[in-house]
Structure 1
Amino acid sequence: MAIFCGAQGNKFLFMNENKLLTSWWPQSLKKALLFPEFVDNNLKEVTALKRSFHHDILKPEALKHYIPVMDALARDHLDKDWSPNAVVKVVPLAKKYTFELACKLFLSVVDPEHIKRLSDPFTLVTNGMFSVPIDFRGTAYNSAIKGGKMVREELMKIIKQRRKELMENKETWGRDLLSKMLLVTDEDGELLSEMEISNNVIGLLVASFETTSSAVTSVMNYLAELPHIYEEVLKDLKAFFLVAQQMAIARSKGADELLTWEDIEKMKYSWNVARESLRLTPPAQGAFRETTTEFTYAGFTIPKGWKTFWTVHSSHKNPNYFPDPEKFDPSRFEGSGPAPYTFLPFGGGPRMCPGKEYARLEVLVFMHNVVRRFKLEKDIPNEKIVFYASPTPVYGLPVRLQPHQEN
C-alpha cells in the first residue's frame, strides 16, 4: 500500500481517478457490509447504480425538500431526548437523530420499533467494520458480520414489500429514495436486483449515519468547549429566545414555521464553524484506491494492483496550509478559503462524497435547533477522543444543558 500525503498527493490521486486508480474497499469491510455473493466483486459491480443517480437525488433542488423534514425531526428529537435532561450524551443521541432521519428520508420508515430493528444491528456494523478482522465469536468484527446480516435481512423485507406495492400500483413513484431506486436501471438498461438495491442503501446509510453523526458530535464538542465560538454562532443563527440576533429568522416567520433553504444560506458563520470542526476532527481519515496500471509518482514506481490511501490529516494539520493548525479558527474559511486539495472532509475528484450538501444541511439544521434552545458546557472537560470508524469521545461527550430563558 502506498500512502499519499499533502495537497500534491491528494491532487494526484483525485485527478487520476478512473485513469490510474479505481475505488477499493478492504475485503473485511465488504464482508461486514455486503451479501456474500458480492464480497469478491469490485465496487462498481457491487453498487451497479449509476453515480449520476446519487448526484440527482442529492442536488440542491432535491435537498430543498428535505430541510423542513430535518427541522421538524430535530425539534421533536430535542423535545423528547434533550429538554427533559440536565446532562445528555451527544454521541448516542446524534446517532439516533441521523439514523432516524436517514430511515425517514430514504425508506419512509418512521415507526420507532422498525427503526430499532435496523439501528441496533447497524451499530454493530459501524463499531466493528474497521476493527482487526478476526472472525471469532465475541470479537467486534464477528459482531459486525452478524449485524450486517441482520441489516440486510431487514432491508430485503422492506425492498420486497415496496416492489410489491409498485407492481400493484399502490405506491406513488418518487415518495422516497427507495421508490426511485426500484425503478432506476443499471448501465445495461436492467432494473437493479433487490440485493443490489440493498447494497446501495447500506452504502448510503453508512455515509449518512456514521460520518454525519460524527460531524454533528464534533460541532457540539467545540460549541461546548469554546464559549466565544458558541456566542458567535448564537448571533449568526439569530435566536428567538434570549439573545437578540439568533431570533431574527423566527421573528420574520413565526416561531413554529420550519426552516427553508433561504434560512440555511444565511448561516455563513455557522457553516465556517462546522468546517473548522471538520478540519480538526474529520469523520473519515482518508480513503482507499486500487491501482489499475503501473505508474510513477515522486520518483516511486507503484505497481498495478497495489492499494493507495490518501490521508486527511496530512493536509488538515499541515501548518503550511493552516497556520497554527491546532487552533480553532473559523475565519480560515472566509473569502476564498483554504487552498485547493488541502481541506478534504468529503474527499475530492470524481468520487467526492455526493452527500456533501446533505451533510451540510443536516449539521446546520441541528446546530440551529440546539443553539437556539441551549447553552452547552462539557461535563468532562478533557475527554479523550478514540478512533473507531470515526473519531469518538470515550464517554460519549456528556454536555450540561442550560436552557435559554425567554424575555
Structure 2
Amino acid sequence: MWLQRLCPLIQPTRMLPFTIVIPLLLLTILLVGVMKLRRRTTTHQYNLPPGSSGWPIVGESLELFRGNSEGVPEKFIVDRIERYGSHVFRTSLFGEPMAVLCGPAGNKFLFSNEGKKVGLWWPASVRRLMGPSLVSKSGEEAKAQKKMMMMGLFSLEGLVKCIPIMDEVTRHHLATHWQGQGEMKALPIIKHYTFEMACRLFMNITEPQLVSRLFTLFNVFIKGVISMDINLPGTRFYRAMRAADAIRKELRALVKQRRTAPDQLDILSYLQVNADDNRKFMPENEVVNNMLNLLFAGHDTSSSTLTLIMKYLAELPGVHEKVLKEQREIAASKAGGELLNWDDLQRMRYTWNVVSEVLRMTSPVNGSFREALVDIDLEGYTIPKGWKLLWSAAFTHKDDSLHQKAMEFDESRFEGSGPPPFSYVPFGGGPRMCLGKEFARMEILVFLHNLVNHFDWELLIPNEKISYDPMPTPVQGLPIRLRPRVRAV
C-alpha cells in the first residue's frame, strides 16, 4: 500500500522504467530501516512527544502533501492535535524525525531561541536546489549577510527610491498585458509581473528575452523546492535540478558582465562588493546562489498573494468598494502623471488591513523549519538534539481561540492593536523574519492602487478551489472577465 502511495511521486520514463526504480527504492528502504533502528536506540531514554513515524522513508510527508493539494494545509496539524491532545507532537517528514510546535507558544519559543536552542534547517530538496552554503548560514554569518542586505535595496532609503520605479513598471505592465483584454487568467500574468519587477529592482534586468527565459525556468524550479529529493528522470525534483543549473548559468553570465561595471544601484552590486573590505568581490557561486534565492523569494509569494486578493475582492463587493474609495482619494490628490511615493503608501491603511486578512486566510508561506541545537524540554516532553522542528502559520491563523470566527473574512481584525502576539505570522518572526516584508507590502499596494483605479473584474469560476503547490494558488489560474473602469482616474 505504501509503495502505491509513493509511486505517483515518480513518473517512469524510457530511461528508467519501474523495473529499475522499484529495486532501488527497496534497497533504500532497507538502508533507512537500519538507520531508524539505530536512531531508536539513541532516543529511547527521552520522554518524546506523542506521535508516529509513518511510512518508511516518506514518513507522514504524503499526508502533509495531501492537505496542501486539497487546500487545507492546517489539516495535517489539526488532525494530530486532536489525536494526541497536545500542541507539541512528533512526526517524520522528508526522512527526518520532526517535532511540530503549534500555536503562539510554539512560535514564540522558536522565534526567540534562534541561534541559541534552534538553528535554521531546510529539507534536502531545498538545500540541494538553493545551495547548502546559502541555506545553512547561521549565527554571526547570517547576521552579517542580513546587515549587508539592509544596507542596500532593503534599507528604508533604498525602498523609498523603489516606489516610483514600481509605479512606473506597474503602469506599463497593466497597459501592455491587461488593457483591452476581455477574459484572461490572472495568475500567470501576475506571476510574470512580480518576476519582472524582481529582475528590474534586484538586478536591473530589462531585456524581455532574458526575463522570459528566467521566468520559464523558475516555474519549473519552484515546483521541486518542497518535494522528495528523488533525482531520477521524470520526478519534479529532477526537473527542478535541471532548471536550477540553467538559472545559475544565466546568472553567472550576468555576474561576470556586471563585474566590469559594478556601480549600478541594485542588490547584485551590493552582493558583489563587500563594503567592509574596500570593494572585495564576494565569491561568484555565493553571489549566484543569493540571487537565485532572492528571485525565488521575491516574486512567488507576492504573485500568490496578489492573485488571492483579486479573488477575495471579487467575492466581497463591499470590501472591494472600500478599497476603491481609499485608492481613488489617493489618486485624486496626485497631479496628472505623478508617480506614487512613500507618503501615499502610508495612507493606504484600509487596503493593507484587507491584504493582511488575505495573508491570514491563505498565508503564502505555511511555516518553516528549524533544527534542535540542544536537547529541548518543552511542555513536559524532550525533543532530542538534532531533531528537526516545524512551525505552522496556517494552523495559528485558522485557530478560533486566537481569531474569532477564523474562517470568516474580517479585515477589521487588524484595527487597533490587531491580533494577539505570535498568532499572526505570515512573515515569520524573530531574527529570521522575512527580509523582504516591506518590499512585498510596497509592491502589493502599488499594484492594487493601479489595478482598482483602472479595472473591474468578475470571476469566471466562482468558489474556485485553492491548492498549495507550494504557494496557495487557484487551481485554474483564476480566470476573470476584465472590464475597464468607466470612471478610471
- TM over 0.5, shorter chain: yes
Q: 2: distance between equivalents of 1:254 and 1:400?
A: 30
Q: 1: distance between equivalents of 2:275 and 2:475?
A: 44
- 2:311–2:478: 8 Å Cα contact kept in structure 1? yes
Corresponding residue for residue 233 of structure 2: 137
Q: 2: distance between equivalents of 1:178 and 1:107?
A: 5
Q: Which letter does structure 2 place at the counterpart of 1:20?
A: K
- Superposed CA deviations along residues 320-375 of structure 1, whole A, max 9, x for unmatched, are 11100011110000011111101000000110001100000001011111100112
1:43 aligned counterpart, secondary structure: coil
Corresponding residue for residue 137 of structure 2: 43
1:97 aligns with 2:155: no
- 2:134–2:289: 8 Å Cα contact kept in structure 1? no
Structure 1 residues 307 and 185, CA gap change in structure 2 (3 angstroms): farther
Q: 1: distance between equivalents of 2:393 and 2:160?
A: 29
Corresponding residue for residue 69 of structure 1: 165
| Matching of residues 1-40 of structure 1 within 5 Å | 1-34=98-131, 38=132
Corresponding residue for residue 123 of structure 1: 219
Q: CA deviation at 1:390?
A: 0.6
Larger RCO (alpha carbons 8 Å, 6+ apart): 1
Q: 2: distance between equivalents of 1:323 and 1:116?
A: 44
Structure 1 residues 40 and 403, CA gap change in structure 2 (3 angstroms): closer
Q: CA deviation at 1:54?
A: 2.2
Q: CA deviation at 1:9?
A: 0.6
1:113 aligns with 2:205: no
1:253 aligned counterpart, secondary structure: coil
Q: Which letter does structure 2 place at the counterpart of 1:43?
A: K
- Superposed CA deviations along residues 288-310 of structure 1, whole A, max 9, x for unmatched, are 01111111111111111111010
1:350 aligned counterpart, secondary structure: helix
Corresponding residue for residue 194 of structure 1: 284
Identity level (%) = 43
Structure 1 residues 40 and 111, CA gap change in structure 2 (3 angstroms): closer
- 2:125–2:224: 8 Å Cα contact kept in structure 1? no
Structure 1 residues 39 and 19, CA gap change in structure 2 (3 angstroms): closer
Q: 1: distance between equivalents of 2:295 and 2:193?
A: 13
Q: 1:152 aligns with which of 243, 248, 266?
A: 248
Q: CA deviation at 1:88?
A: 2.1
Which 5+ residue runs of structure 1 have no aligned equivalent?
A: 167-172, 238-245
Q: Which letter does structure 2 place at the counterpart of 1:406?
A: R
Q: CA deviation at 1:132?
A: 3.0
Q: Which letter does structure 1 place at the counterpart of 2:219?
A: T
- 1:33–1:145: 8 Å Cα contact kept in structure 2? no
Q: 2:399 aligns with which of 305, 318, 321?
A: 318
Q: CA deviation at 1:202?
A: 1.4
- 1:104–1:110: 8 Å Cα contact kept in structure 2? yes
Q: Which letter does structure 2 place at the counterpart of 1:50?
A: Q
Q: 2: distance between equivalents of 1:228 and 1:390?
A: 27
Corresponding residue for residue 399 of structure 1: 480
User: More displaced, 25-34 or 219-228?
Assistant: 25-34
Q: 2: distance between equivalents of 1:363 and 1:213?
A: 9
Q: CA deviation at 1:313?
A: 1.8
- 2:224–2:239: 8 Å Cα contact kept in structure 1? yes
Corresponding residue for residue 147 of structure 2: 52
- 2:273–2:280: 8 Å Cα contact kept in structure 1? no
Corresponding residue for residue 347 of structure 1: 428
- Superposed CA deviations along residues 127-152 of structure 1, whole A, max 9, x for unmatched, are 22113332222222111111100111
Structure 1 residues 108 and 63, CA gap change in structure 2 (3 angstroms): same
| Matching of residues 172-251 of structure 1 within 5 Å | 173-184=263-274, 191-237=281-327, 246=328, 248-251=329-332
1:65 aligned counterpart, secondary structure: helix
- Kindly name which structure, 1 or 2, has the bigger radius of gyration based on alpha carbons: 2
Corresponding residue for residue 170 of structure 1: none
- 2:149–2:267: 8 Å Cα contact kept in structure 1? no
Q: Which letter does structure 1 place at the counterpart of 2:487?
A: E
Q: 1: distance between equivalents of 2:394 and 2:331?
A: 38
- 2:134–2:290: 8 Å Cα contact kept in structure 1? no
Structure 1 residues 140 and 49, CA gap change in structure 2 (3 angstroms): farther
Structure 1 residues 278 and 228, CA gap change in structure 2 (3 angstroms): same
Structure 1 residues 394 and 32, CA gap change in structure 2 (3 angstroms): same
Structure 1 residues 47 and 351, CA gap change in structure 2 (3 angstroms): closer
Q: Which letter does structure 2 place at the counterpart of 1:384?
A: K
Corresponding residue for residue 252 of structure 1: 333
Q: CA deviation at 1:199?
A: 1.2
- 1:49–1:186: 8 Å Cα contact kept in structure 2? no
2:119 aligned counterpart, secondary structure: strand
Q: 2: distance between equivalents of 1:155 and 1:48?
A: 25
Corresponding residue for residue 354 of structure 2: 273
Q: 2: distance between equivalents of 1:358 and 1:184?
A: 23
Corresponding residue for residue 331 of structure 1: 412
2:298 aligned counterpart, secondary structure: helix
- 2:173–2:193: 8 Å Cα contact kept in structure 1? yes
1:258 aligned counterpart, secondary structure: coil
Structure 1 residues 6 and 405, CA gap change in structure 2 (3 angstroms): same
User: More displaced, 42-51 or 140-149?
Assistant: 42-51
- Superposed CA deviations along residues 352-405 of structure 1, whole A, max 9, x for unmatched, are 001100000001011111100112211100211111121111100112112111
Corresponding residue for residue 286 of structure 1: 367
